[in-house]
Amino acid sequence: MEHLKVNTIGVLTSGGDSPGMNAAVRAVVRTALGENMRVYGIRFGYAGLLENDMVEMNMKSVSDCLQRGGTILYTARSKEFAAPEGVEKAARILRQAEIDGLVVIGGDGSFRGARDLTAAGIPCIGIPGTIDNDIACSDYTIGFDTAVNTVIESVDKLRDTSKSHHRCSVVEVMGRNAGYIAIHAGIACGAIAALVPEVPFDIDRDVCDRIKKTLHLGRSHFIVMVSEGVGNTEEIARYIKAQTGVDTRATILGHVQRGGSPTGRDRIIASRMGYYAVKLLRSGFGGRVVAIREDNIVDYDIDEALSFHKDMDRELYHLVGTISI
Ligand code: ATP
C-alpha cells in the first residue's frame, strides 16, 4: 500500500523480546534522523501505545544499546489493542501525536496488529523479531542466532557433567511451534536426537535404540534436545532411563534463552532491517513486512507475509541423528 510522504514515525517492540531488537530500534532511529524525520519511541508495545506512553528519540536515546539484550522500549501483549476499537483508538493517538508511520518489531501477532493499523490509516512496517525463527516469510528472525549460542553455551556445560557421571541430559529448549533452536543447537552440541513439534518421532527408534547402540560402542554421555512444543520433557527423561538404564535427567533451559548480548549476526541483520524499514516508510510504503531471503533484505505485503508456510529443513533434522552415531 502506498501512502503520502511520512515525516514523523514511531517505533515499538511487541510480543516476546529477543536479543537484537535494540539494534533494530537504533537503526530505525538513526536512519530516520538522517532523513530529517522525527521519531518517537513507543514503550510497552501496543499496550503502551494505547496509554500514549511515548517519548521523542534523538541520536543519544539509542546510544549504548546495541550490545544489550532485551529491548530498551520494553514490550508487552495487549488484548485491548487487538479488538477493532483498540486499533481505532491507537490510530487516533498516533494521529494526535502527528505520527504518520510506525515500525513494529515483533512476531506474526504483532504483524496482524500492524496490518490493522495500516488499514486504519497509519502505514506500518513489520520487522521479524523472535528467537524462534518461526516467521514464515523470512529465512531469519532477529534473536535466533543469539538464542542458539546461549543454548550451546549451557549444553556444553551440561555435557561436562554428563560425561563425568555417564549420564543422558534431556534438554528442553524454546520453540512452541518450531524446532529450529532444537535442531540447530542439536547439531552444534552433538545431540543424539532433536525432538521437534513439526516431525513425528518414535522415542524407541529415534532415541532409546540409538543410545543402546552407541552404549555398546563405548559412548557414555548423551544429549537429547527437545523443543518445548513437544512437551513432556520430564516424562521423556524417565522413559529413556527406564528403557536404556542410563541415568537420565531433564533440564529446562527456559527464559535464559531470551537474554544475553546479541551476536554479530543478530546485530547486523537487525541493523539492516531497521534501516530498510525506514526507507520503505520514507518512500511512502506501508503495510509491509521486512524479511531476509538468501541474504537479501526484501519486503512483502503483510497479508502475503502471513500466508507463507515455512517447511522444516528435513536434511538438517536428519543430520542431528546421522552424525551422532
Ligand atoms: P511472539 O513470536 O513473541 O509470540 P508475536 O508478535 O506473535 O510475538 P503476540 O502476543 O501474538 O506476539 O502479538 C503481540 C500483540 O499483537 C498482541 O498482544 C496484540 O496486541 C497484537 N495482535 C495479535 N494478534 C492480533 C490480531 N489478530 N489483530 C490485531 N492485533 C493483534
DSSP tag of 205: I
Are 24 and 142 in contact by the 8 Å Cβ rule? The answer is: yes
Cα-to-centroid distance, 287 and ligand 1 (Å): 16
pLDDT of the residue at 307: 97
Pocket perturbation via mutation, ligand 1, pick of 46, 73, 78, 110 by most ligand atoms within 8 A of CB: 110
Lining ligand 1 with CB less than 6 A are 14-16, 46, 77-78, 81-82, 106-110, 112-113, 116, 130
Q: Mean of the per-residue pLDDT values for the chain? A: 95
Pocket perturbation via mutation, ligand 1, pick of 12, 14, 116 by most ligand atoms within 8 A of CB: 14
Cα-to-centroid distance, 126 and ligand 1 (Å): 12
pLDDT tens string 212-227: 998 888 888 899 999 9
Residue nearest to atom 18 of ligand 1 (CA): 77
Cα-to-centroid distance, 212 and ligand 1 (Å): 44
Q: Where are the alpha helices (DSSP H) in 84-232?
A: 84-96, 108-119, 144-165, 180-189, 203, 209-216
Instruction: Reply yes or no on whether 202 is catalytic.
Output: no
Catalytic: which of 17, 53, 116, 132?
Answer: 132
Sheet strands side by side (includes 167-173):
193-195, 222-227, 167-173, 247-252
pLDDT of the residue at 143: 98
pLDDT of the residue at 181: 97
Residue nearest to atom 12 of ligand 1 (CA): 15
pLDDT of the residue at 164: 76
For the chain, which ranges sit under pLDDT 70? 1-4
pLDDT of the residue at 124: 98
Q: What CA–CA distance (Å, rounded) separates 134 from 18?
A: 13
Cα-to-centroid distance, 35 and ligand 1 (Å): 30
> Which whole-number Å values give the CA distances from 161 to 21, 49, 124, 137, 155, in the listed order?
34, 47, 49, 40, 10
Q: Is the dihedral of CA 37, 40, 45, 51 positive or negative?
A: negative
Cα-to-centroid distance, 192 and ligand 1 (Å): 35
pLDDT tens string 263-288: 999 999 999 999 999 999 999 999 99
168 Rama class: left (phi>0) / alpha (psi -120 to 50) / beta? beta
3-state helix, strand, coil in the chain (%, to 5): 45, 20, 35
Residue nearest to atom 9 of ligand 1 (CA): 109
